[in-house]
């Protein structure tokens, strides 16, 4: 795996922090221009994208250094191995924790345990037993540091090492009541975040956090979850990544169990004890641990054809990117890649609210 230069790391950090540059667009730019440095130069000259200020970058690096954190790039050994293999993985993660401990934990099976914030006392107790038994069988627990099930899972696996993935800046313990747990995880594993330093927790960021939880683990265990919950988003992402989904059965009259029971009806693996998960892993011929780096490219979709479809579908009346994707029936990655080229060519204008339209001729 190639080693990034210091200059390229800084360029990647600045690029992924720039306006409208999500993971999909980021990797499309890397595919097209070969490096973040070149991509930044092109975008700066185009004036079409608000580039992350150098002063803001310097401040973020300084803040990370002060708290003992580090930026982890895809090529870094500290980047979660299984996360490298998801489509369009996060280009850069913030990490705060015990580096040597984390690298040791990567050589074990890693699963996530998720569930309700307002979990029942019974389910929290079961989660504690489950996480403790699994961790003592060399299975590493990942969760989201939230109240309820997440908290129970982290506390029960602290003694062997656990990872938390949060939906805010790496420096913000959230919820505040878990600050002591946050500090303990830093000593006994690590905290990961995709968000810039000082980013406050926001509802829209939690699905992105859930994507990371699903991506960095071999499987996801849902202990207690309502029918519409972040835990089911995590389970859905795990399925999309080809990972195992486990569920703990719950009372049919408790709405907090509806999501987990629905997963079981749909074919999730039943969990009544840690042994169910251990037996499942023992039955596998090979548990993937160190996945090879795989940067997806637009090999199946001709970018010129997509650009033509976009031009034919757009007018000077703005529509959302989601509406465009639905209309032309092309993958989000293909549409975003083509939109970027059209925007740089001044043929398409991107507006607030993820809307686009044809550029008005001057």
pLDDT digits (tens, 9 = 90+) for 206-261: 999 999 999 999 999 999 999 888 999 999 999 999 999 999 999 999 999 999 99
55, pLDDT greater than 80: yes
Q: Per-domain residue ranges for the chain? A: 6-52, 81-283, 303-358
Give the separation between CA 97 and CA 95, rounded to whole angstroms. 6
What is the end-to-end Cα distance of the chain in Å, rounded?
47
**303-358, CATH topology level:** Arc Repressor Mutant, subunit A (1.10.10)
The CATH code that applies to domain 81-283 is: 3.40.50.450
Given CA atoms 245, 233, 144, 57 in this order, what sign does their dihedral have? Answer: positive
Give the pLDDT confidence of 307-337 residue by residue, as tens digits: 999 999 998 888 988 889 888 888 777 888 7
The pTM assigned to this predicted structure is: 0.83
So what's the pLDDT on residue 295? 33
Query: What tokens does 249 get?
Result: 């059965």
Map tokens 């975040």 to a residue: 193
With a cut of 60, say whether residue 288 has pLDDT above it: no
Q: Average pLDDT in the 21-27 region?
A: 92
Comparing 203-207, 289-293, 309-313, which segment has the lowest mean pLDDT? 289-293
CATH topology identical between 81-283 and 303-358: no
**Segment holding 165, helix H or strand E:** strand 162-166
Does residue 298 have a pLDDT over 60? no
Does 170 score more than 70 pLDDT?
yes
Structure tokens at 7: 């200059």
Q: What are phi and psi of 350, to 5 degrees?
A: -95, 130
Query: β-pairing, 70-73 with 162-166?
Result: unpaired
Mean pLDDT computed over 58-69: 97
User: How confident is the model at residue 335, as a pLDDT?
Assistant: 85
For β-strands 269-270 and 162-166, DSSP reports them as: unpaired
């Amino acid at each position: 795996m190639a080693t990034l230069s210091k200059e390229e790391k800084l360029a990647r950090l600045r690029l992924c922090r720039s306006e409208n540059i999500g993971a999909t667009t980021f990797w499309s730019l890397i595919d097209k221009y070969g490096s973040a440095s070149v991509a930044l130069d092109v975008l700066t000259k185009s004036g079409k994208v608000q580039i992350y200020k150098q002063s803001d970058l310097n401040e973020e690096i300084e803040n990370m250094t002060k708290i003992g954190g580090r930026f982890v790039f895809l090529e870094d050994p500290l980047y979660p191995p299984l996360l490298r293999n998801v489509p369009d993985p996060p280009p850069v993660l913030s990490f705060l924790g015990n580096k040597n401990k984390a690298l040791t934990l990567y050589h074990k099976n890693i699963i996530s345990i998720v569930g309700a914030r307002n979990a029942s006392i019974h389910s929290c107790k079961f989660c504690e037993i489950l996480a403790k038994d699994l961790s003592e069988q060399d299975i590493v627990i990942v969760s989201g540091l939230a109240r309820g099930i997440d908290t129970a899972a982290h506390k029960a696996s602290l003694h062997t090492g656990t990872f938390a993935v949060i939906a805010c800046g790496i420096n913000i313990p959230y919820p505040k009541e878990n600050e002591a747990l946050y500090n303990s995880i830093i000593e006994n594993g690590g905290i990961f975040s995709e968000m810039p330093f000082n980013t406050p927790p926001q509802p829209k960021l939690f699905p992105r956090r859930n994507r990371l939880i699903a991506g960095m683990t071999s499987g996801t265990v849902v202990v207690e979850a309502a029918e519409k919950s972040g835990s089911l988003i995590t389970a859905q992402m795990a399925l999309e990544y080809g990972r195992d989904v486990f569920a703990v059965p719950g009372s049919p009259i408790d709405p907090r169990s509806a999501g987990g029971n629905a997963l079981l009806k749909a074919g999730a693996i039943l969990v009544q004890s840690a042994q169910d998960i251990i037996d499942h892993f023992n039955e596998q011929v090979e548990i993937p641990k160190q996945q090879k780096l795989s940067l997806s490219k637009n090999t199946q979709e001709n970018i010129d054809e997509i650009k033509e479809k976009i031009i034919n579908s757009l007018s000077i009346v703005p529509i959302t990117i989601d509406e465009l994707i639905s209309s032309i029936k092309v993958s989000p990655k293909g549409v975003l890649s083509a939109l970027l080229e059209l925007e740089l060519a001044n043929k398409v204008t991107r507006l607030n609210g993820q809307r686009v339209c044809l550029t008005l001729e001057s």
